[in-house]
């Protein structure tokens, strides 16, 4: 990367890395990031950090997206794997799969004792903190955080780099009606408060945005003031970026809605 080039940190739960029997790295499709980031790499360097565990000891912690995909881009997409505690990550993944994902999709969830709920939420928080710490780079112009498993990453990033632009994309819906159970409200408040540490939160539909906004107004009204909510049903605006990339000064002054709002749902 040369001086003056745009650089974005991207954080996701998983990276698109697989391995053959002889441990050769291969590209696996993991959501729409594998399609969106190559377009963004025409205008910015990308450092993509995802979570891994000690179970992959001996495997590289760095990969070049271009090398494993056989695609050439104007700028680099560097993939880094951040190692976290296996047990913590397993507990976090289990809770996300069995409680948070169903709740966000309007499905019923089992009851859980307050102490156990607190423990589970702490595992989500700790893995997010570990990932954020591994992703910090003074050269980054901003960060894009992908999906509900990393809802607490914006809080951690804000503490580590308070002046950097942070965008959060919610891949899932936000429930249109809130279950009456206390546990559901606590989980949604946990998610929302973490997401609200971002400068920008993007949703797939206007209905999801409105449902989130209504929830926050009811439960966390003071936290909505400095956050921009947007709908992003499409992809990177390549044409607009291309025009602005012709001018280096304009490129460095791109608004958050021109570089960070990427559709990563499909």
Considering only CA atoms, which of 32, 33, 41 is closest in space to residue 6?
A: 41
* Contact assessment for residue 18 and residue 25, using Cβ atoms and an 8 Å cutoff: yes
Its pTM surpasses 0.85: no
* Contact assessment for residue 124 and residue 152, using Cβ atoms and an 8 Å cutoff: yes
Partners of residue 226 on adjacent β-strands: none
**What is the mean pLDDT of the segment spanning 190-213?**
96
HSE (CB half, 13 Å, CA atoms) of 155? Answer: 18
- pLDDT for residue 237: 46
Distance from the Cα of residue 46 to its chain's centroid? 14
* Contact assessment for residue 166 and residue 198, using Cβ atoms and an 8 Å cutoff: yes
Domains and CATH numbers, the chain: 7-259 (3.40.50.2000)
- pLDDT for residue 255: 43
Per-residue pLDDT tens for 140-178? 999 999 989 999 999 999 999 999 999 999 989 999 988
In this predicted structure, the answer to whether residue 183 has a pLDDT above a threshold of 60 is yes
* Contact assessment for residue 158 and residue 19, using Cβ atoms and an 8 Å cutoff: no
- pLDDT for residue 101: 96
**What is the mean pLDDT of the segment spanning 117-137?**
96
Percent pLDDT > 70 in the chain is 82
- pLDDT for residue 58: 63
Q: What is the mean pLDDT of the chain?
A: 83
Residues 6+ apart with CB under 8 A from 202: 167, 168, 169, 170, 229, 230, 231, 232, 261
CB atoms within 10 A of CB 48: 25
């Amino acid at each position: 990367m040369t001086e003056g080039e745009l650089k974005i940190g991207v954080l996701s739960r998983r990276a698109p890395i697989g391995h053959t029997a002889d441990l050769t790295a291969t590209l696996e499709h993991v959501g729409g990031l594998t399609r969106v980031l190559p377009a963004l790499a025409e205008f910015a360097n990308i450092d993509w950090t995802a979570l891994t565990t000690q179970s992959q000891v001996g495997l590289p912690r760095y990969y070049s997206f271009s090398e494993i995909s056989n695609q050439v881009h104007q700028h680099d997409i560097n993939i880094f794997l951040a190692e976290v505690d296996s047990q913590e990550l397993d507990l976090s993944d289990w809770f996300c799969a069995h409680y948070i994902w169903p709740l966000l999709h309007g499905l019923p969830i089992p009851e859980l004792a307050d102490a156990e709920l607190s423990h589970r939420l702490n595992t989500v928080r700790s893995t997010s903190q570990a990932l954020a710490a591994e992703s910090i780079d003074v050269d980054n112009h901003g960060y894009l955080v992908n999906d509900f498993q990393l809802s607490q990453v914006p809080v951690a990033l804000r503490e580590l780099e308070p002046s950097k632009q942070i965008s959060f994309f919610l891949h899932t819906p936000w429930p249109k009606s809130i279950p009456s159970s206390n546990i559901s409200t606590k989980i949604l408040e946990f998610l929302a408060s973490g997401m609200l540490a971002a400068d920008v939160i993007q949703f797939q539909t206007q209905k999801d945005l409105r449902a989130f906004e209504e929830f926050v107004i009811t439960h966390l009204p003071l936290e909505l003031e400095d956050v921009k909510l947007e709908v992003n049903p499409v992809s990177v605006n390549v044409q607009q970026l291309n025009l602005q990339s012709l001018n280096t000064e304009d490129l460095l002054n791109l608004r958050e809605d021109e570089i960070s709002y990427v559709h990563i749902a499909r």
